[in-house]
């Protein structure tokens, strides 16, 4: 049998981190077993579903590289099929019409809560004749006895007594089918073999299994993934920072870094931290997914992202960095080769945004020197070294790192001071105090005119401080 998994988000917002992890685990399982990965858009909530959210989900999937083999399928295109299933249940006596008012249901709930009984529908309309022309909902007639038993691929065997389940609504009064009905029909029609989803759906599973059995449809295997928590132990939400996949792109994360981090949220392979996509496919097992919730650690994600920035092809990093430079108002074509800038700077940055910020000085002058760096480097004794370096740099015939280094070296020898007494004020002068590699390489990349102009600015700064 061909393995078939699915990712079925509701388009009521962006693709969030929890959804991305679910998609990743489903994708990995399908790829590992040579199966098919299906994308389904569960858009039956007509009031909250938007095309903008659909686009955000598709964009997030594309950015992460989680290519789907089939879809996207939209539930709003399948209402006729859902109604066929509901009609079949009505004909078999496994569903019934209910016209209970909201007031009656609220009163029933209050009585049950007062009696410390689990709130559930009491089956009042099970044996009543309801006029189909009058407003009503359709309820599934849940079995009264026995239990639903299934072997969760993550949590193991789960058993729920049918007496704990009520007669859920499968079609609303406006004619729209409900989630539990649509997902059951879709999973069966799309031949889904493994349903991999968050554990917030675990209470739906027994109900869905009963619906599948009532419709005579095959029951897939289920795997419920533990929730993701913030650093404070609460469920991950906006207040913990970025939770939208595309927001991570905006903040300068690489898709492979986010995937690498997400695969480790609830799954592990020994002590290994860094996984290529091929390694994830080869090593991933649902049986090794933890049952306990996982805590999202932004510092760990930053560490992984920095690893990928340092390890990846600098040409690709330059291509990804370019838009972030643009957001700073910098045209990378007007200055040193961006690939060389990446090679020089990438070990100093955890994100592409940070890499752009610490590399801006290569392309444009800065308004002010870093206050802390200037206080340390621009003492009165730095004036003479800066003036001497400046005059010698202006006389260079070739602007290359070897000759620049020679100027600094001869200045050190002329003044008979330590290398740092010359190099430190020059570095702060030309970079403004930003992190940078070897000074001679940095100055070569910045260019003669900019270096001389900035050293003049540093000289003026020191003279005004005196």
Q: Which residues are catalytic?
A: 238
Give how far Cα 123 sits from Cα of 105, 144, 198, 277, Å.
Answer: 11, 11, 30, 51
For residue 436, the SS3 value is coil
Residue 132: alpha-carbon gap to chain centroid: 46
The answer to whether the CB of 89 falls within 8 A of the CB of 95 is yes
Beta strands (DSSP E) in 162-262 are 169-171, 194-198, 221-225, 228-229
Helices (H), ranges, 92-189: 102-114, 179-189
The answer to whether the CB of 60 falls within 8 A of the CB of 24 is no
The alpha carbon torsion through 15, 21, 22, 24 (nearest 10 deg) reads 100
Q: How many residues does the chain have?
A: 466
Residues 6+ apart with CB under 8 A from 138: 86, 89, 90, 95, 96, 97, 98, 169, 170, 171
For residue 138, the SS3 value is strand
Which helix (DSSP H) or strand (DSSP E) does residue 156 occupy?
A: strand 156-161
What is the rounded distance in angstroms from the CA atom of residue 183 to the CA atom of residue 433?
57
* Residue 240 phi, psi (nearest 5): -85, 0
* Residue 253 phi, psi (nearest 5): -90, 150
The answer to whether the CB of 139 falls within 8 A of the CB of 170 is yes
Give how far Cα 245 sits from Cα of 17, 137, 231, Å.
Answer: 6, 37, 18
Helices (H), ranges, 366-418: 371-377, 383-394, 401-415
Beta strands (DSSP E) in 10-129 are 36-41, 70-74, 95-98
What is the rounded distance in angstroms from the CA atom of residue 266 to the CA atom of residue 292?
8
């Amino acid at each position: 049998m061909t393995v078939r998994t699915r990712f079925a988000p509701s388009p009521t917002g962006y693709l969030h981190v929890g959804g991305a992890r679910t998609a990743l685990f489903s994708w990995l399982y399908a790829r590992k077993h040579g199966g098919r990965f299906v994308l389904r858009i569960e858009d039956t909530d007509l009031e909250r579903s938007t095309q903008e959210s659909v686009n955000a989900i598709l964009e997030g999937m594309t950015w992460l590289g989680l290519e789907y083999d089939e879809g996207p399928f939209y539930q709003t295109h399948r209402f006729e099929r859902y109604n066929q299933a509901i009609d079949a249940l009505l004909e078999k006596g496994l569903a019934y019409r209910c016209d209970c008012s909201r007031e009656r249901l609220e009163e029933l709930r209050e009585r049950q809560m007062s009696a410390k009984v689990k709130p559930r529908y009491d089956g009042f309309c099970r044996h009543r004749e309801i006029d189909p022309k009058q407003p009503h909902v359709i309820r599934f007639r849940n079995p009264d006895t026995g239990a639903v038993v299934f072997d969760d691929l993550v949590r193991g065997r789960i058993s729920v007594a049918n007496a704990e389940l009520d007669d859920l609504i499968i079609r609303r009064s406006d004619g729209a089918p409900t989630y539990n009905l649509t997902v059951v029909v879709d999973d069966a029609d799309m031949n889904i073999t493994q349903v991999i989803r968050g554990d917030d759906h675990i209470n739906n599973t027994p109900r869905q299994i009963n619906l599948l059995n009532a419709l005579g449809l095959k029951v897939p295997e289920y795997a419920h993934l533990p929730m993701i928590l913030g650093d404070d132990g609460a469920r991950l939400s906006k207040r913990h920072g970025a939770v939208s996949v595309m927001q991570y792109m905006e903040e300068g994360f690489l898709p492979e870094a986010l995937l690498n981090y997400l695969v480790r949220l609830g799954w592990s392979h020994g002590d290994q931290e860094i996984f290529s996509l091929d390694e994830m496919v080869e090593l991933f097992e649902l049986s090794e997914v933890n049952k306990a919730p996982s805590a999202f650690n932004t510092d760990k994600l930053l560490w992984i992202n920095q690893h990928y920035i340092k390890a990846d092809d600098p040409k690709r990093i330059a291509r990804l960095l370019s838009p972030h430079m643009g957001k700073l108002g910098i045209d990378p074509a007007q200055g040193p080769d961006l690939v060389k800038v990446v090679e020089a700077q990438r070990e100093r940055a955890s994100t592409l945004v940070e890499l752009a910020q610490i590399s801006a000085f290569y392309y444009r002058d800065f308004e002010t020197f870093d206050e802390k760096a200037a206080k340390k480097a621009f003492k009165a004794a730095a004036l003479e070294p800066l003036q001497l370096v400046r005059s010698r740099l202006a006389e260079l015939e070739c602007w290359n790192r070897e000759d620049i280094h020679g100027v600094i070296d001869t200045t050190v020898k002329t003044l008979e001071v330590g290398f740092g007494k010359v190099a430190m004020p020059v570095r702060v002068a030309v970079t403004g105090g930003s992190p940078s590699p070897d000074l001679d390489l940095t100055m070569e990349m910045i260019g003669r005119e900019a270096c001389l102009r900035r050293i003049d600015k540093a000289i003026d700064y020191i003279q005004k401080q005196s």
